[in-house]
Structure 1
Amino acid sequence: MKRVAKILPVGSWAVEKAADVFCADYEGRHRRRMVLPLQSGEKVLLELEHARLLQAGEGLCLEDGRIIKVEALPEELMEVRAQNPLHLVQLAWHLGNRHLPAAIEPERILIRYDHVIADMVKGLGGHIHRVQAAFDPESGAYAAREHGHTHHDHDHDHDHDHHDHAHEHEHEHRHSHSHGHVEHHHGGHSHSHG
């Protein structure tokens, strides 16, 4: 069975040169390790260091040099529409606050159907429609950096430290956020944090 040697980003390869196609819904494209059934009936092995979403339009470059095009199957989604652009941004904030995978477009947001979220959006004045569409959500600020290579037996001469990042969430704190600097200066004046 041939293996995927690397993943080519959307727009970085000639789509017309695709030798075959892998087509799946969101769940079927969000993987770390899997045997991928291609349209031709051939099967290839995908083996990554971390689970990630294979995005529609990416190319899976096999060991033999052939490139497999990734396509997204249409699936049942929830289309969120707003009263105006500002309202759409506000709805996006509420959806993002719940860490939901979302595809953000100029006039709508697509998410996977969830009746609780549908009720929340309606309560915030948004409009919900069930649609059939391909789902390619945003990768998110905290997604692991993609190196475009798969995990197999060879040496890497670079680090894979993905845990050195900070992030914030709004929640009640009962502790100080002091970082040890008691006093600092700002162009002629100073103040302290205590």
Structure 2
Amino acid sequence: MIRATRLLRAGHLNGGEIVDRVVLDHGDRHRRRTAMRGVGGIAFLLDLPDAAVLNDGDALVLENGRLVWVEAAPERLLEIRAPSEHALRRLIWHIGNRHIPAEIGPDAVWIAHDHVLAEMVRGLGGTAEPVDRPFRPEGGAYAGGHGHSHSHD
């Protein structure tokens, strides 16, 4: 089975030939090693040196140099809005206090659909409307090799 051993970030695809694409939800976009099949039928083994978050628009480099495009699948989410910037910041704090993945935009926040959190948001004066769209949550303070390392040797 052909392997994909490298990840090219969106914007750094440098003209490679895209031969297929994989459509993955948020949970399936954090990988290191797994068998995959593109929507066009190409089967390959994702075999990265380290676990990585595969972002919408990235590409996986196959051993033969060809590329498989990564696309974020639409998911059922809650779009959370508030009547003011301060109210939205309060809602973000309450959501973050529950340690759940969240995508933060300039005037809305998206989280996985959860009726309990929807009621909490509404109880705090916000709106929580179901939407279907790709989910691109924040990576967290330690994502992507930035920030504090947990190695204290």
Q: CA deviation digits over 1:162-190, x for unaligned, max 9?
A: 5237xxxxxxxxxxxxxxxxxxxxxxxxx
Secondary structure class of the residue paired with 2:77: strand
C-alpha distance after superposition, 1:97-143 (max 9, x if no partner): 22211111112111101122112211211101001101111111122
Number of the residue aligned with 2:118: 118
Does the CA contact (< 8 Å) of 1:15 and 1:69 recur in 2?
Answer: no
Question: Following the alignment from structure 2 to structure 1, what is the Cα–Cα distance between the partners of residues 34 and 112?
Answer: 23
Opposite residue 101 of structure 1, the aligned amino acid is P
Please say if residues 57 and 69 of structure 1, whose CA atoms lie closer than 8 Å, have aligned partners that are also in contact: yes
SS in 2 for 1:90: helix
Distance 2:129 2:83 in 1: 14
Helix, strand or coil for the counterpart of 1:75? Answer: strand
- Correspondence 1:119-134 to 2 at 5 A: 119-134=119-134
Measure the CA separation in 2 of the matches of 1:50 and 1:131: 32
The structure carrying a bigger strand percent of its residues is 2
Q: Distance in 1 between the 2:118 and 2:140 partners? A: 22
Structure 1: 4+ residue segments shifted above 6 A: none
Sort the Cα spacing of 1:52 and 1:95 in 2 relative to 1 into closer, same or farther, 3 A: farther
CA 1:51–1:122 in 2, change beyond 3 Å: closer, same or farther?
farther
Question: 1:50 & 1:116 partners in 2: Cα distance?
Answer: 35
The higher radius of gyration belongs to 1
Query: What does residue range 63-74 of structure 1 map to in structure 2 within 5 Å?
Result: 63-74=63-74
Deviation digits for residues 21-43 of structure 1 (CA, Å, limit 9, x no counterpart): 11121222232321111021111
> Which structure 1 segments of 5+ residues have no match?
147-161, 166-194
Structure 1 residue 16 displacement after superposition: 8.2
Following the alignment from structure 2 to structure 1, what is the Cα–Cα distance between the partners of residues 15 and 36? 19
Cα RMSD for the two superposed structures: 2.3
Aligned twin of 1:33:
33
Cα distance change, pair 100–52 in 1 and its aligned pair in 2 (3 A):
farther
Tell me the distance in 1 between the aligned counterparts of 2:33 and 2:16. 27
Q: TM-score, normalised by structure 2?
A: 0.86
- 1:2 is aligned with what amino acid? I
State whether residues 8 and 60 of structure 1, in contact with CA within 8 Å, keep that contact through their aligned partners in structure 2: yes
Structure 2 spans left out of the alignment, 5+ residues? none
Q: Distance in 1 between matches of 2:17 and 2:108?
A: 33
TM-score, normalised by the number of residues in structure 1:
0.69
Q: 2 CA distance for matches of 1:76 and 1:84?
A: 25
